Chains A and B, each alone.
Chain A
Amino acid sequence: MKYAIVLFIVFSGLLISCDKTSSSCDEDKVCYTAKPDSLYIELQLSNSPSDEPVQVNFYIGNSDDGELYYSFETNNTTEYFLMPVNQKYSAEAVYQYADITTIAVDGDRLEADYFMNCDQKCYKWDDLVFDLKLKD
């Protein structure tokens, strides 16, 4: 029984600490109350292992069954897309080295996340990052 009580207290504490609506208040904290319609997606790329630029394919939805939105070649290690929120996106980076082709894939849902401060919804305007860098 005493274990059950301890577990109950621990899990209750975890639940309370994870609650977005918990009413902490910091007047000095920057709070964007306007909900963003669009946010940036940052594509992080590796340097091309060959002289050829890296081909990037950007999709609305998943890369295997979504809609190809834009395809381009680049030598940059970061690229940005400003896209509407509440939608899933994905991207591929095609690296060529000798006869070997490696296609790095990443994707996620772009959402306007928020936290509560002084009983106000404060929206985060952070970029969504797709890590298309080759693993070491």
Chain B
Amino acid sequence: MQEYLFQIRSKFIIVLIICLSFSKLSNAQGVYTISPFASNYFDPHFGIQAESYFNLNDFYVGFGIGLEDTGFDYTASFNVGFRPYFKKVLIEKGENLFYQYHEKTFLISIDLEKRFYFLEYNGQNRIGIYTGGKFGYFFGNYRGVSENFTKKFLIAPGAGLSWEFKNARMNLGYLLLNGSEELTPHMIQFKLNLFFNKNDD
């Protein structure tokens, strides 16, 4: 019983320390909590983005251009992503018959993203979460054969943390990319966005 009370007390103290630290940070450095649902105006910008999604077995880079709305906090963009090297993959073509190919893959997609910010500091810098997805066409290129074994339309949902500055944003999160059947679809996504015509004021 005494051990149970000790555990409860320890957890309470940890939570209290976190809350007090956060409160202290908010007061000391001008960090404010904001409503993630308060955005209600249209503030469009032209934006470009560079991203990478990867796991222990696979690595992609991607680039995109599109619309950045820092009012309603969403992005709609046209993206091209690709594995920048050939990777050996096994494709089953019959009972006990496997082909090993050198595969390079591409994903051409329309990306949609919505963000919810709950912290703000220095006026224009915000921290929150994002959710969205890639809606596109995934296909492969194989050395030594003319056939293309991987080609399909897919939806790759993702979510994570978003950190927005005055003219840039960084996202870090999870992406579920069901591309190559042999490889794990669970990926880490890192994205950098730049917006070009945001006012200085």
Contacts and interface: CB of A to CB of B under 8 A. Distances in A.
Interface residues of B, number: 18
Interface of B is mostly: strand
Given A62-B145, A64-B147, A107-B143, A102 B102 contact: no
A135 B102 CA distance: 10
Contact of A135 (B97, B100, B144, B167): B100
A101 B98 contact: yes
B118 to A, nearest CB: 28
Contacts of B194: 3
A131 B102 CA distance: 9
30 contacts: A3-B167, A4-B196, A62-B144, A62-B145, A64-B146, A64-B147, A65-B146, A90-B143, A90-B144, A90-B145, A91-B144, A99-B96, A100-B96, A100-B97, A100-B98, A101-B97, A102-B90, A102-B98, A102-B100, A103-B97, A103-B98, A103-B100, A104-B99, A105-B100, A105-B102, A105-B143, A106-B102, A107-B145, A135-B88, A135-B100
Interface of B: 88, 90, 96-102, 142-147, 167, 194, 196
